[in-house]
Structure formats: C-alpha cells, structure tokens
A and B are shown apart, each in its own frame.
Chain A
Amino acid sequence: MVDVTDKAKKYRSVGYYPGCALEGTGNGYDVSTRAIAKKLGLGLREVSNWNCCGAMEVKNVDPKIQTYLSARVLSQAVNEDRVDVVMAPCNGCYHNLKKAEHDLAHDPKSVEVVEKLSTKAGHKAYKAGEAETIHALDWLKATVGEDGLRERTKGKLAGLKIANYYGCMYVRPRHIFPEKDQGPGSESTSQPHFMDDLLAAAGAENVSFPLKTACCGGAHTLSDSDTSTKLVLNILQAAEASGAEVIATECPTCHTGLEMHQVRAEKRFGKKTNVKVLYFTQLLGLALGIGPRALGIHTNISDSMDLIIEKRLI
C-alpha cells in the first residue's frame, strides 16, 4: 500500500523540470500544467539552469552520456534548488531521470562516469536516492486527487468520451519504475490507469481502449516517417473504433506524433481520422474552469474547438 497522505503533503511543492519539448512543440502541455498548478495552489519551482535529459537520441551515441545529462538535472534540483521531488510531465524526461536513478543505484560503472563528468563540469555529482522523480500524473493523483477533482469540477467532463493513451516511456521497462505494480493505489505497467482515474473523477467517460501502451513510433517521427504513420494510424483508428471523441495524452512526443501523423496519414495515404488529441492537463484545466487559451489549446496542431464548444466546456 502507498501512504497517500504523506505524498499529498510532499508533492504540494515540487521541483519542476519542463525539458526541451515543453519549451518548443509541447508548449501546450507546459502552459496547461502551470495553469492547473496555479488554480490548485500547488507550488512548482522550475529547476534552475536545467539542461536536456538526453531525450531518446543521446543514448544511441553513448548511454552513459544520457545518464550524466539526467543526473545533472537532478543535481541542479537537489544542490541548487534544495528540492527532493522533481516532477517531469514529459514521458521522455521522466523516463530518463528514472533510468539515471536506477543506473546510479545499481551500476558502479555509471556512478564512475557521472562522478568523473560532474567533477570536470564543475558541479556536485548527483547520488542515487537524493531526489524522487515523479510524473505529472503522480503529482496530480497525490495532491488534488480524485476526491478533490470530483468536488472542484462537479463532473464537468460528463458526456465526453476519452481514450487514454500512455505510450511507452511511462511504463517500460518495468525495472526503472520500482514503485509501479505494487498493488492497490500504485500505477500498473500493463494497464496504467492514473490518467483514467483523474479524468473519470472530472466526469469523463473513459472508453475501453486496447492500445494504451502501444508505441507511436515517436523516436522515428522524422527519420522513418512511414513506420510512424502506420503506428499512429493504428492508434487513431483503434480510438475511433472504441468510440472515443478525444485521445488524452501525457507526453509531448506522443502528442505531437499523433497530431503530425494524423495529418500525414491523410495527406500521404488518404486515411482521414477525426478523433481529437488533447493533453490530459488541458482536459483537466477545462474541467476546472480554465479557458482554452490559458491552456494553450490553440497551439495544438489538431483543432479541438468545435468539440469543446459542443460539449459546453467553456
């Protein structure tokens, strides 16, 4: 069992690591995350002078460079900002910080490389256990929680059919997420449900969606576009077949991948799908009464305004 009250207190004020994607293409995710924090009175302290975590590319040049880059972010949070919880909404960042944590706890060679590079770069080396990395889903689930959302939203998302899409990096590989699959209250790696829980508490109807953790081909969005388009189209069509009006996302790479390849599938292969794509934070923001502009919905590629008006979400 997970101690819920403890976390609710601990996560009220956290270090916030937006990462490169949320500064660029994933801007809507950043804006909506901050807007929700403000609305709910939760403290976000942006990690000072952060760097890229290594994304999905750096490890292919050398995995330990990725470990170092992620460890530097954690070192900034711990040593500069004095926080012990780092919240990363991007699945890629979240995954990499978790992986660095795991490697530094289990692999002496990684510790050696991180210590060497940190010393040369002139900062304290991060040590396993100094901070806890959490996802935006963990953060909201523990702080406002389902009861809080039920109370504050009064079921505002009622009648909205949602397919919850989690992607790869939030659940795989299992060993870097030791807190998952720990029974009641914890997240599941095979059937993740934190996003479902939060949206259901805001009144939404979650459809039964079989491709929650399928891959969108995000790593090869540009370098192998045909494969990505095939994988994305599969996800979009499955969501439509499940009766969803909108796909809720919790990763900027998945989100942008779904949106871009929805356009590409139509342009290149004549396969049109109409399902909308919104960040779960944008959906929760609407449920909390925040306006679409303040949630960055106009910066998404797919235009969801018709649906938002139809469902009376403004």
Chain B
Amino acid sequence: MPIHEKSLIRPENLKTHDNLVIEGIDVSGHWSTFIESRVVTDYNENLEDEIAAMPGGDKIHRCWQCGSCTNACTVNAIEPRFNPRYWIYLIRMGMESELLRDKDIIWQCVSCHKCTHICPRDVEPEGVMKATAHWLTMKGYTPPSPSHIFDEEFTHQIVQRGRIEDTEVLQNFLRKTKQPLMQDWLTAIGFAIAKRLPVKWGIKMAWAQIFKPKTRGWDKARIALEDYIHEVESEQKAVIAGKSKPQQSHAPVREAAE
C-alpha cells in the first residue's frame, strides 16, 4: 500500500490481540494485527451519473485508479484524508455512505491543477472534486461551503455586469459567511496600505464602489447567461432525480504526460 494511502485504514477496524498464540507460535501485539472486513449493501447505482452531471465531472468514467492525482495533490500533503483517487473509486462503485464520511473536506481542493496536469487518463480530477462538492450541496448533505458561496457571489456579479469589483466581492462574501468585516489581519493590511497611499487612490476606490466597473451593452449577454444557467441547472436536477442521463465527455483522451 502506497504510504499516502495508509490513512484509508480506519483505527476502529484495526484489530490487535495482546495475547494470542496460534499453533504454538506467539503472535501477540503487532504480529496479530488484521483489518476487519466490512460489508457494504447500500449502493447508489446512479452515483457516477449524478457526479458526471455536475460542473467539471463529465470525464470521471475514464479513471483507471493509478493514484497519480492523490500523489501530486497539494491538499493531500497537509490533510492525508483528502484523497481524490479514493473518492473517484467510491463514486464509480456507488459507495455513497463511504463518500459521505469525507463530505466536509472535499470542497477544500485549491484548484492547483497538479492532478489534471499529471493524470494519464485525462479525467481532470480537479473538476471532479468541484463537481463532487457541488453535488454534496445540491443533495443537501452539506451546507454551501465558503468556497461555494464565494463562487456564486463572484459569478452573480459577472453575469449581472460583466466585471467584478474586489471590495464588493469581499464585503458580500464576509456578510454571507457571517464573518466580521473588521478582522485583525484584514485591518492590519488596510492600515499598512492606507499609510502610504495618495489621496487620489482613496477617491478612486470610493468611485469604484459607487460606479461599479461594468461592461457596456452587457444586457444581452446577461440574459443569454441567465437562460443558460437555468438550462444547466434543470438538467442537473433531472439527472439527480433519475429522469435523465448525463452527457459524458466523448472527447478523445489526450496523450499522457511523460
């Protein structure tokens, strides 16, 4: 078992006898360690389809379980339970209840693309992580993660105006995630810059707050995007309800990285 997969053994399933003699041989302690087998009965046979219907999940069927993604993963290095290969396995097997054990950390993928860069099967595991996080929220298994709230706030501003404004994204995000606007480190940063900034800059910032940056003539694009998002969402709901099959990606698999 590769070293980065050791975290998959759950302590409660590890059995060790302090005093055990088998056929006259003392196998006490470490020597008698075995992993208790589990029986899984509650498969969700629709699980792979459901994930494939979410944004970024449409190539999950290609995975051949090499583990390169987990091995390269930024978050795995600081949180060993974060294991893209394992989650893809569970999803393809339909083992929903096993997947749900990790439901609170899947959203933490930082989109570094190390997995997509290395994957020999062009699965785009980064997309699968985002798709899975999206699915967890859509099914009501987790409340929207801070990252989900940020994505929606950001996308909303772009759909409405074509551009975003940093301060507004920050303020709305902090409000929606119920965080105080005045956090020690944020104010420290604010003071550090304010000290050195010319007045002109302050005026410019205030200006951007009132007259939000905007792409001219965006209305038609806004309507087109709103219609499209609506379409995508109804498709996703239909797949989750088992009324429709997702469109798997049939684009050819790219050549493997060396």
Which residues does A use to contact B, with CB under 8 Å?
20-21, 23-25, 49-52, 54-63, 65, 68-69, 72, 106-107, 109, 113, 116-117, 120-122, 168-169, 171-175, 189, 214-215, 217-220, 222-224, 227-228, 230-231, 259-260, 263-264, 267-268, 298-301, 303
Q: Are A60 and B55 in contact (CB under 8 A)?
A: yes
B26 to chain A, nearest CB (A): 45
Q: Which of B110, B196, B247 contacts A217 (CB 8 A)?
A: B110
Q: Which of B124, B155, B174, B223 contacts A120 (CB 8 A)?
A: B223
In the complex, A217 Cα to B147 Cα: how many Å? 12
Q: Are A50 and B215 in contact (CB under 8 A)?
A: yes
In the complex, A122 Cα to B170 Cα: how many Å? 32
Q: Which residue of A lies closest to B193 (CB)?
A: A301
| B207-250 interface bits toward A, Cβ cutoff 8 Å, 1 = contact, 0 = none | 01000010111101101110111001000000000000001010
Q: Are A299 and B154 in contact (CB under 8 A)?
A: no
A80 to chain B, nearest CB (A): 11
Q: Which of A55, A63, A117, A300 contacts B56 (CB 8 A)?
A: A63
In the complex, A300 Cα to B188 Cα: how many Å? 13
Indicate whether B67 reaches chain A with its CB closer than 8 angstroms. Answer: no
In the complex, A23 Cα to B184 Cα: how many Å? 25
| B133-154 interface bits toward A, Cβ cutoff 8 Å, 1 = contact, 0 = none | 1100000000001111111101
Q: Are A72 and B251 in contact (CB under 8 A)?
A: no
Task: Flag the segment in B10-18, B88-96, B156-164 that touches A.
Answer: B156-164
A168 to chain B, nearest CB (A): 5
Q: Are A263 and B196 in contact (CB under 8 A)?
A: no
Given contacts A23-B163, A117-B225, 9 further A-B contacts (CB under 8 A): A55-B164, A59-B127, A107-B249, A173-B124, A214-B74, A220-B146, A220-B147, A267-B184, A303-B196
Q: Which of A25, A49, A60, A173 contacts B151 (CB 8 A)?
A: A60
Q: Which residue of A lies closest to B111 (CB)?
A: A219
A96 to chain B, nearest CB (A): 12
Q: What are 23 sample pairs from A and B whose C-beta atoms fall under 8 A apart?
A: A24-B208, A49-B216, A50-B215, A51-B162, A51-B221, A52-B162, A52-B163, A58-B154, A59-B56, A60-B130, A61-B229, A62-B55, A69-B158, A120-B221, A120-B224, A120-B227, A122-B221, A168-B113, A172-B113, A173-B113, A220-B147, A222-B150, A231-B74
B54 to chain A, nearest CB (A): 10
Q: Are B213 and A20 in contact (CB under 8 A)?
A: yes
Q: Are A223 and B145 in contact (CB under 8 A)?
A: yes
A163 to chain B, nearest CB (A): 19
Which residues from A are CB-within-8-Å of B154? 55, 57-58
Contact flag A59-B110 (CB < 8 Å), given A49-B215, A301-B189: no
Indicate whether B173 reaches chain A with its CB closer than 8 angstroms. Answer: yes
Most A CB contacts (10 A, CB to CB) among B197, B220, B223 go to B220
Q: Are A263 and B188 in contact (CB under 8 A)?
A: yes
Interface residues on B, range: 35 or more
Closest 3 CB pairs of A and B: A120-B224, A215-B112, A24-B166
B103 to chain A, nearest CB (A): 15
A213 to chain B, nearest CB (A): 9
Which residues from A are CB-within-8-Å of B146? 220, 222-224
Contact flag A215-B158 (CB < 8 Å), given A59-B55, A72-B221: no
Indicate whether B203 reaches chain A with its CB closer than 8 angstroms. Answer: no
| B169-189 interface bits toward A, Cβ cutoff 8 Å, 1 = contact, 0 = none | 010011001000000110011
Which residues from B are CB-within-8-Å of A168? 111-114
Which residues from A are CB-within-8-Å of B213? 20, 23
Q: Which of B55, B133, B167, B201 contacts A63 (CB 8 A)?
A: B55
Indicate whether B192 reaches chain A with its CB closer than 8 angstroms. Answer: yes
Most A CB contacts (10 A, CB to CB) among B110, B198, B254 go to B110
Q: Which residue of B lies closest to A56 (CB)?
A: B111
Indicate whether B116 reaches chain A with its CB closer than 8 angstroms. Answer: yes
Contact flag A301-B192 (CB < 8 Å), given A24-B208, A57-B151, A223-B147: yes
Contact flag A60-B134 (CB < 8 Å), given A223-B147, A263-B189, A299-B197: yes
Contact flag A174-B112 (CB < 8 Å), given A52-B163, A58-B154, A62-B229: no
In the complex, A301 Cα to B192 Cα: how many Å? 6
In the complex, A175 Cα to B252 Cα: how many Å? 13
